[in-house]
Amino acid sequence: MLSCKSFFSKIIRKKKNNRNKNRVRRKFLFRKQNSISKKDLQEEEEEEEEEEDYTEEGFRLKASAPSHVHGVQPLGNLYLNPGSINSRNTGLGNLQILTDELVLDILGLLDGNHLGVLATVSKSFYIFANHEPLWRNIVLENLNGGILFNGCWKSTYIASCCTSFDISKIGLSGLRVRDFYSDYLFQSWLCANLEMKPEWLERDNIIRRKSISVEDFVSNFEEPNKPVLLEGCLDNWVASEKWDRDYLAQLSGDVRFSVGPVEMKLGDYFRYSDQAKEERPLYLFDPKFAEKVPRLDSEYEVPVYFREDLFSLLGNERPDYRWIIIGPAGSGSSFHIDPNSTSAWNAVIKGSKKWVLFPPDVIPPGVHPSPDGAEVACPVSIIEWFMNFYDATKTWKKKPIECICKAGEVIFVPNGWWHLVINLEESIAITQNYVSRRNLLNVLDFLRRPNASALVSGTRDRMNLYEKFKNAFEASYPGTIEQLVQKAEEKKAQEKKPSFWDSVTDSKVGAFKFSF
């Protein structure tokens, strides 16, 4: 007979599996045998029990992970405590009928002062009003990148806006509220503190090559549009020897780089990344780094396989195409297709990255692009995708291409491929998007779509990019587009042409056909 704990575990998993597939924010339920007690000793014992449950499910918290600052528990725990009443509902009053997401959306309309006042209304509002992403948005929208991170986003806001207030004299650890159950709030904490499961990292099915010729790369990977991991491409880079956080901070610590929606000094960003423990760590992703710090431009070179870059014909009018990428463990990019139908290469200089790639005809599970491709809805965080969707891909006929790209390695990302990237440790990388003749027709088709103004990115003149690029290419390579179109049509016809065996057999009965 099933134990009570196992019984409720099956109910929780069944409930999770039956949720609407179109719902982007997925719930993930974890179990605890006992409710949280006020006594410190009991809390420690229950945290140990909770960690054992994570181990049973194959999940482990990071060694530095704190318990939830306000004592929020997953809703599944309420099933194991039938005598408890969810203080989430009693504290919200008539607003309890709203989902947690909607409550937070409403609170997101408030400024810092009003959010602070609302936190005094009830224990429930206290927890909602202290939700870190609310304060993160306030800081990013109001401080214009002048951010000195102070452990959490709320204290960062207070320290920046109330300079006379001694933040060190108050306890920002927060009040612990008993019997507050919320999958949504708990999962945000959980995603920020989970380690990557070993089975998420063990699959490595990408093709690896070292010292291949450009002709081999073109014929075996670029033309057939297949990913490949290239080794030995960074051996002569100065960046491979010099680029670490100390060198970059010394060279450009006061330079402002693009970090999410703001620009931050590099030194301030490192201060943030050292302290950040959140579901979606900010990612430094700057397309103008070479102009800001010219020495960085001189310390790396484009690998020989990617040197035909036809967008360069546009000069200063070309779309953004290269980025320096810096981020702590857990930061990264959720599923997306690279802009303007370009292909890309990504070189890891320090650290390591986990890659998951799906071909253009396979939409990753949990990802919902709009019909015109202008928007993509996907799980809030990368860890959330791994928790709720990764295992499903094991049974797919077309499994994703996966690998861990380490320092000194370069991955080729063909055009149209969906890909997700997460840093497994603090990492520094360079990436560039490019257009070669093997991909030229795809890019031109993309740029002339009826809704190109909504799809094209990285340039101010979205409407005229197609005409400018086509004219610039034809001026430099007259007649080449017609040749490429003819070659593509011949290849398409050849693919449709039946083989000799098909021409002499009857496809319906498998017998030979004779004609006289």
| The pLDDT of residue 463 | 87
Contact 420, 335 (CB under 8 A): yes
Count of C-beta atoms within a 10 Å radius of residue 231: 15
pLDDT, mean of residues 6-26: 40
Contact 136, 278 (CB under 8 A): yes
Which is it for strands 322-327 and 427-434: parallel, antiparallel or unpaired? antiparallel
* Domain end call among 176, 193, 210: 193
Q: Given a cut of 90, is residue 45 above it in pLDDT?
A: no
Based on the fold, state whether residues 337 and 460 are members of the same structural domain.
yes
Residue 449 covered by a domain: yes
Predicted confidence (pLDDT) per residue in 227-236, tens digit: 999 999 999 9
CA-based end-to-end distance of the chain = 74
Residue 288 covered by a domain: yes
- Selected residue with higher pLDDT from 39 and 429: 429
Residue 304 covered by a domain: yes
Contact 275, 151 (CB under 8 A): yes
Based on the fold, state whether residues 223 and 238 are members of the same structural domain.
yes
| The pLDDT of residue 14 | 40
- Selected residue with higher pLDDT from 144 and 403: 403
Cα distance between residue 251 and residue 46, in whole Å: 48
**Across 16-25, 90-99, 397-406, least confident range:** 16-25
Q: Given a cut of 80, is residue 349 above it in pLDDT?
A: yes
Residue 410 covered by a domain: yes
Contact 275, 159 (CB under 8 A): no
Residue partners of 185: CB distance under 8 A and separation at least 6: 72, 100, 127, 128, 131
Based on the fold, state whether residues 202 and 187 are members of the same structural domain.
no
Residue 39 covered by a domain: no
Read off the CATH number of the domain in which 443 is found: 2.60.120.650
> The tokens of 150 are what?
């102070």
How many structural domains does the chain have? 2
Cα distance between residue 22 and residue 102, in whole Å: 17
| The pLDDT of residue 61 | 81
Based on the fold, state whether residues 281 and 184 are members of the same structural domain.
no
* Domain end call among 170, 193, 216: 193
Q: Given a cut of 70, is residue 41 above it in pLDDT?
A: no
Q: What percent of the chain has pLDDT over 90?
A: 63
Residue 50 covered by a domain: no
| The pLDDT of residue 174 | 72
H helix runs in 143-265, sequence order = 153-161, 183-193, 198-201, 214-217, 238-242, 245-252
Cα distance between residue 418 and residue 367, in whole Å: 10
Residue 379's alpha-carbon distances to 104, 218, 263, 509, in angstroms, are: 17, 35, 25, 48
Based on the fold, state whether residues 97 and 156 are members of the same structural domain.
yes
Based on the fold, state whether residues 169 and 219 are members of the same structural domain.
no
The dihedrals phi and psi of 415, each to the nearest 5 degrees, come to -65, 145
Q: Given a cut of 90, is residue 50 above it in pLDDT?
A: no
| The pLDDT of residue 252 | 95
Predicted confidence (pLDDT) per residue in 288-342, tens digit: 999 999 999 999 999 999 999 999 999 999 999 999 999 999 999 999 999 999 9
Based on the fold, state whether residues 312 and 296 are members of the same structural domain.
yes
* pLDDT band of 413, cuts 50, 70, 90: very high
Based on the fold, state whether residues 336 and 449 are members of the same structural domain.
yes
Q: Given a cut of 50, is residue 266 above it in pLDDT?
A: yes
Mean predicted lDDT score pLDDT of the chain: 84
pLDDT, mean of residues 62-69: 72
Based on the fold, state whether residues 309 and 224 are members of the same structural domain.
yes
| The pLDDT of residue 167 | 64
Based on the fold, state whether residues 422 and 367 are members of the same structural domain.
yes
* pLDDT band of 59, cuts 50, 70, 90: confident
Cα distance between residue 422 and residue 286, in whole Å: 17
Q: Given a cut of 90, is residue 22 above it in pLDDT?
A: no
Count of C-beta atoms within a 10 Å radius of residue 3: 8
Predicted confidence (pLDDT) per residue in 436-467, tens digit: 999 999 999 999 998 888 888 898 888 889 99
Angle at CA 243, nearest 5°, toward 237 and 247? 135
269 is in which domain, residue-wise? Answer: 198-475
Cα distance between residue 210 and residue 318, in whole Å: 31
Based on the fold, state whether residues 299 and 413 are members of the same structural domain.
yes
Based on the fold, state whether residues 471 and 412 are members of the same structural domain.
yes
Q: Pick from 449, 431, 448, 441: which is nearest to 489 by CA?
A: 441
Q: Given a cut of 50, is residue 6 above it in pLDDT?
A: no
* pLDDT band of 53, cuts 50, 70, 90: very low
Read off the CATH number of the domain in which 116 is found: 1.20.1280.50
Residue 52 covered by a domain: no
| The pLDDT of residue 402 | 97
| The pLDDT of residue 1 | 36
| The pLDDT of residue 58 | 62
* Domain end call among 193, 220, 241: 193
Predicted confidence (pLDDT) per residue in 137-192, tens digit: 999 998 876 889 988 899 899 888 877 776 665 555 578 898 999 999 999 888 98
Q: Given a cut of 50, is residue 13 above it in pLDDT?
A: no
Q: Pick from 123, 129, 92, 91: which is nearest to 110 by CA?
A: 129
Residue 487 covered by a domain: no
